[in-house]
Structure 1
Amino acid sequence: MTTPSPRGAGAPEAPTWALVLAVVLVAANLRTVMASLPPLAEAVRADLGLSSLAMGVLTTLPVLSMGLLAPVAVRVARRTGAVAAVAGGTGAVLVGLVLRGVGDRSVEALYAGTLLAGAGIALTGTLLPGVVKAVFPPHRAGLGTGLTMSAMMAAAALASAGAVPLADAFGGWTASLLTWAAPAALGLLAWLAVRRPLRRRTAVPAGDHGGSHALPWRSTTAWLLAAYLTAQSWQFYSALAWLAPTYESHGWSARDAGLLMALFTGAQLVSGLVAPTLLDRVADARVLLVTAGVLGGSGELGVWLAPDAAPWVWALLLGAGQGASFALGLGLLVRYAVTARDSSRLTAMGFLVCYSIAAFGPATSGAVEDATGGFGAVWMLLAVAMVPQLLASARLGPHLPRVGAPGG
């Protein structure tokens, strides 16, 4: 059953489930660019002669794009609307994935495609929290965040687990990477199918055009969230880039390392749905934030101090903690904002700070591995990076003013 649009002249409103499905299908393409590559790292290095530092840069490029282009996403949305900007971002992800897969084992195509896909992720990822705020009612914002997070992580798990089998089946790593253009095309088509009702949901209410579009640089709340997301993202993208190569260096096959990555990302799927749903039920997020940090830190300590003792347990703890931590961060980008526009401003600032810094995590870790000849120091540094995440978590209480409110 449809209801009349509050703004359109009797135009029918699409069912909410169709809007949610489009959001989920688009969100599913925000991590496959990064997750599909690490299980193929050794094959790529052998083919192209890349160092660990150079492989780390392949994870750095999309993450750095997500940071530097986050404010651009807000400006683009002001001119075209958030719905059109997300469509453009998803299209860029699609083209980038195709370029990586048809580049005939070219270093230039691999890097250019990764960079273009990263730019698309920046547009889409920055604006999706605002769309979620517009599509879901306030008491279900955590559920909306959890669904988008679960879509990201489910697709990432499939990309990790399927990377090597797809390469074996289709004749090489380029064909494996090209596979992930198909879900990007599906997401873009689904988004375009509901673009009109989404535009109505995300339209600025009448009389509300005078609100600020500037990034909330003077907001203490925004800076706390940025610090939290920076520490979390540094750990996540470094773990994403180096968990599989760590265990391949311990004698694991690429296929088994890919399955370990699938467990890491699959655990994020579950915790990424559960944590923000619990966020809807609690006023003080700190207990959830600290618990998630302890879980992730335990996994990092395990890989560092006893990598061969219980690798599947470490991957499970690491994934559960990182998935919950990131999903809670996304949920707080919605909770600590008054309107969908304020959520986009807050997200743009948080992503600009966190991704611009965290982007150097994988490459820095690769340089550490090149210098030390092993991954032990990498995981030690990631465990240390959990400390600032926990400190920021302890400050993110319900007393903080929301962005867009007086004093926020």
Structure 2
Amino acid sequence: MSSPDTRDTPTMPRWVIVTALVLVASNLRTLMASLPPLAETIRADLGLSNAWLGVLTTLPVLCMGLLAPVANQVARRTGPASAVGAGIGLVLVGVVVRGSGGGQVWSLYAGTLVAGAGIALAGTLLPGIVKTVFPAHRSGLGTGLTMMSMMGGAALASALAVPLAGALGGWSGSLLAWAPLAAVAGLVWIPVARYARRRAANQPAPEDVSHALPWRSITAWMLATYLTFQSWQFYSSLAWLAPTYEASGWSARDAGLLMSVFTGAQLVSGLLAPVLLDRRTDARVLLFGATLLGGLGEAGVWLAPDLAPWGWAVLVGAGQGACFALGLGLLVRYAATARDSARLTAMGFLVSYTIASAGPATMGAVRDATDGYAWLWALLALLAVPQLLAASRLRPDAARVGEAAEPVRT
């Protein structure tokens, strides 16, 4: 959020912007992470099938895919910071609708849809803002902080879901409890958005550059493919890890704690992996290691779920957290400018999240068809193979989006 001419604009300390960025990011996974520990209770209360229960995770992921190009266009017209502010506002509205409908089906799904649209708007634009705020050699740190706050919020949502339900009179009160976090993030982001608009007014008009999604970029397609398999595994694991162990006799509280371990492991790996990425020119070693780690955990839940459930949760969470964080870091690395990062992110999210949104519901249908969870986890473990193949194509000399070699279209 810098400008060549800032003489008429007071500066804002970078730590203030980073704090606001962290608060916004902390709201981008609570919607989905707060649901699985309550899934069995919600399913029983509302009479939902496992497939329809999976749709509650599918909806926000589908929004994150289909609305990624829309987020890019909104940012063109209002500025990225204002668009992020609008996104966190939608998250707040959606969380309130989801949790204040008296435990009705319509409010549960409608609120999830609205909040999902807000997550799409804010989440798509965060990598570009990270590229603007952090210098190139520290972009991994910025990505890591974003991931840490995102997964930290998810870990809290998973761990507190059942206790909050007990304290607030049911699962709808537990879901509503995350509205204040979104409200605080929105309030803190308002001065950042105003500051960004003032600085943008002092900048010269941008040159005529392409805003189109980089469909002709091989690098963009490899990243999108990698993120597709990663996202399918992550959101399916998020939706079904707790129900898998509840079906084995675990209490909802213990399943929620297992989910907090799953998301807590992501917090650590999500911070560490991008920092390591800053130190490596070739990201493939990190990509391979993280993918294999997550695949090993999924195989453990498949083949020996009761042998080391807490260990499997750590492996799946650490692997998937690192995989996603590395993907976010590469959305910054393989872009020439912040605008190009936004284009690359929009395309990557459009492809990956749109396809991966079918994951939770599809895996729920597999569970219904097989009357168990073994095949679900077997399929997730096997998806690590094509993810590895896509990662192998992300060479350090791959062309960046926005370089002269890329065809420019307006």
TM-score, normalised to structure 1, is: 0.97
User: What are the residue-to-residue correspondences of 1:122-133 with 2, within 5 Å?
Assistant: 122-133=120-131
Question: Per-residue displacement from partner, 1:369-408 (whole Å, max 9, x unpaired)?
Answer: 0111100000000011111111111111111010000224
Identity between Structure 1 and Structure 2 (%): 69
- Matched residues in 2 for 1:204 and 1:318: separation? 47
Residue type at the aligned position of 2:63: S
109-118 or 188-197, which deviates more: 188-197
2:354 aligned partner: 356
User: What are the residue-to-residue correspondences of 1:293-332 with 2, within 5 Å?
Assistant: 293-332=291-330
1:152 aligned partner: 150
Residue type at the aligned position of 1:134: T
- Matched residues in 2 for 1:203 and 1:137: separation? 22
Question: Per-residue displacement from partner, 1:213-239 (whole Å, max 9, x unpaired)?
Answer: 000000000000000000000000000
- Matched residues in 2 for 1:176 and 1:349: separation? 34
Question: Per-residue displacement from partner, 1:263-319 (whole Å, max 9, x unpaired)?
Answer: 000000000000001111110100100000010000000000000000000000000
From 19, 22, 34, the equivalent of 1:21 is: 19
- Matched residues in 2 for 1:293 and 1:201: separation? 41
192-201 or 76-85, which deviates more: 192-201
2:290 aligned partner: 292
- Matched residues in 2 for 1:204 and 1:35: separation? 41
Residue type at the aligned position of 2:141: L
Partners of 1:233 and 1:354 within 8 A in 2: yes
- Matched residues in 1 for 2:158 and 2:201: separation? 37
- Matched residues in 1 for 2:197 and 2:312: separation? 43
Residue type at the aligned position of 2:38: L
Residue type at the aligned position of 2:317: G
SS of match in other structure, 1:397:
coil
Q: 1:202 to 1:309 in 2, by over 3 A?
A: farther
Displacement, 1:197?
A: 3.1
Partners of 1:135 and 1:201 within 8 A in 2: no
Displacement, 1:203?
A: 7.9
1:141 aligned partner: 139
SS of match in other structure, 1:194:
helix
SS of match in other structure, 1:282:
coil
Residue type at the aligned position of 2:17: L
1:75 aligned partner: 73
Question: Per-residue displacement from partner, 1:184-227 (whole Å, max 9, x unpaired)?
Answer: 11111111122233346778963643110000000000000000
From 102, 105, 108, the equivalent of 1:104 is: 102
Displacement, 1:11?
A: 2.1
Q: Is it true that 1:259 corresponds to 2:247 in the alignment?
A: no
- Matched residues in 2 for 1:374 and 1:335: separation? 41
- Matched residues in 1 for 2:352 and 2:197: separation? 29
1:237 aligned partner: 235
- Matched residues in 1 for 2:120 and 2:199: separation? 22
Residue type at the aligned position of 1:250: S
Q: Is it true that 1:223 corresponds to 2:221 in the alignment?
A: yes
From 6, 9, 16, the equivalent of 1:8 is: 6
* RMSD between superposed Cα atoms in Å: 1.4
Q: 1:272 to 1:202 in 2, by over 3 A?
A: farther
Q: Gaps spanning 5+ residues in structure 2: where?
A: none
Q: 1:203 to 1:46 in 2, by over 3 A?
A: farther
Residue type at the aligned position of 1:114: T
TM-score, normalised to structure 2, is: 0.97
1:406 aligned partner: 404
Partners of 1:131 and 1:202 within 8 A in 2: no
- Matched residues in 2 for 1:5 and 1:51: separation? 53
- Matched residues in 2 for 1:257 and 1:270: separation? 20
Question: Per-residue displacement from partner, 1:47-103 (whole Å, max 9, x unpaired)?
Answer: 110010000000000000100000001111111111111111100000000001100
Q: 1:347 to 1:201 in 2, by over 3 A?
A: farther
Q: Gaps spanning 5+ residues in structure 1: where?
A: none
Question: Per-residue displacement from partner, 1:136-179 (whole Å, max 9, x unpaired)?
Answer: 11111000000000100000000000000000011100000001
2:281 aligned partner: 283
Question: Per-residue displacement from partner, 1:231-273 (whole Å, max 9, x unpaired)?
Answer: 0000000000000000001110000000000000000000000
Partners of 1:5 and 1:11 within 8 A in 2: no
